[in-house]
Structure formats: structure tokens, C-alpha cells
Amino acid sequence: EAAVTQSPRSKVAVTGGKVTLSCHQTNNHDYMYWYRQDTGHGLRLIHYSYVADSTEKGDIPDGYKASRPSQENFSLILELASLSQTAVYFCASSEPLGGNTGQLYFGEGSKLTVL
Amino acid sequence: GDSVTQTEGQVALSEEDFLTIHCNYSASGYPTLFWYVQYPGEGPQLLFRASRDKEKGSSRGFEATYDKGTTSFHLRKASVQESDSAVYYCALRPSSFSKLVFGQGTSLSVVP
């Protein structure tokens, strides 16, 4: 069974603090993604990566950094957390999107509250 | 650019009601279309996909037909159950195989 695990599952951070969300996948997938979920906006892509040691900007990258130290691990970093970054964050993995399925496998989400 | 529009933000139904969630897309060529479902406390998971005009995707009693003429992929189920309460996302994979594009999501609540 494919698996994407996120940690922490829930976090409360202070404004201006640093937050790191971690993601680990055992799918042997090259592609990994970080999405943000907000009511009314659906899922929006923050950063993604298709190979270790390389990351790409998604649709809403401002205020976020990403790190892909290995095929299995992908982190999302908020250097200076702000109130507007309160949201649920999802990590996902996939085969190359040109493959047969184009399917994303999601983790269970990380709820971030910035106070 | 490529986009997906779901017109219903929230839908409230009673058990055994008929469900329709509308999904319209804008993309060139023949994108692959998806429906994802997200149950409470979980991440989204694939419900089904379709990649050709007039192709019907289906799973768990849900179905949708790819219609290139009306650029639509509406989700339907004949008789919903309380266990169908979830958020449903329509999405597309462009012909260029670049990143997936998601709609805004529709929250479905089914009461007994």
C-alpha cells in the first residue's frame, strides 16, 4: 500500500516564528508536492519537486521554501510564519504526470495555526 | 491558463437523494479529468478518472462522463448515503502533462 506520512499532524506557531512541515513517502515516486487547503480556494500548489536536491515553485510560493534532501523526503519551511498561513497543508507524491495514471497520493494533512 | 470550476461550494442532501456536482474546465487539447474525494480527517484520494471524450468514469456508485463539447465532467450519484459526506474535488491534468489543476472543492453533507 502506497504511503505518504506527514509530521506534525497539528501545530500551533507564533507569528514570526519558523515552521517546518515534513513529508515522507514510501511509494518510490519521483514527484512530490506541497498543497495548501483553504475553504473556497480548494487545493493550491505551493512547491513541488521531481528529483532530489531540486525544487520548483508552484502557484503560491511566496512565504514558503521547500527542501528535497532525498527521494523519500520533502519539507515545507515557513521562515517567518504569518497569520495568513494558517491552513491545512497536504503533501502528495506521484509518478511523472506523463505516466499512465497521473494520480496523486496524498498524506493525511498538517493543520497549522499561526497565532 | 488551465482551470477547473466547481459551481457548488456546499451541498446538503438527505439519504437516497440524487447528487449532482457540476465541474467545468478550461484547457486545450484533451486533458485527463479526475474526481478526488476527501473524507473528514484524511487526505484526498482518487475516486476515478477519464481521459477521452465520452468516456465514463465510475466508482462506489459515483459516475461522471467526459464531455469535450460542453467542457464538463459532472459528478452524479443516484442515491447518496450518510457515508458519502466528504469534500469532492474535480481536477485536470493538462495535455502537456504539467501539474494537476484542482477546482475549489464541494463539501457534501448527507443527513439520515
For A60-101, write each residue's pLDDT tens digit: 999 999 999 999 999 999 999 999 999 999 999 988 766 557
pLDDT at B30 over 90: no
Residues of A (13-32) whose Cβ lies below 8 Å from B: none
Nearest to B89 among A33, A43, A103 (CB): A43
CB atoms within 10 A of CB B70: 8
Q: Does B1 touch chain A (CB under 8 A)?
A: no
Could you give the percent of chain B with pLDDT greater than 70?
A: 97
Average pLDDT taken over every residue of chain B? 94
> Do residues B21 and B8 lie in contact, with contact meaning Cβ atoms separated by under 8 Å?
yes
Confidence of residue B28 (pLDDT cuts 50, 70, 90): confident
Q: Is B98 helix (H, G, I), strand (E, B) or coil?
A: coil
For residues B63 and B15, give the distance between their C-alpha atoms in angstroms, rounded to a whole number: 18
Taking an 8 Å cut-off on Cβ atoms, the answer to whether A101 and B99 are in contact is no
A contact test, residue of B8, B95, B104, B106 with most A CBs within 10 A: B104
Q: What is the pLDDT at residue A98?
A: 60
CA angle A73, A90, A18 (to 5 degrees): 70
Q: What is the pLDDT at residue A99?
A: 59
Could you give the percent of chain A with pLDDT greater than 90?
A: 83
Query: How crowded is the C-beta side of A83, counted as CA atoms within 13 Å?
Result: 1
CA dihedral B60, B65, B71, B76 (to 10 degrees): -50
Between residues B85 and A98, which one has the greater pLDDT?
B85
For residues B89 and A82, give the distance between their C-alpha atoms in angstroms, rounded to a whole number: 27
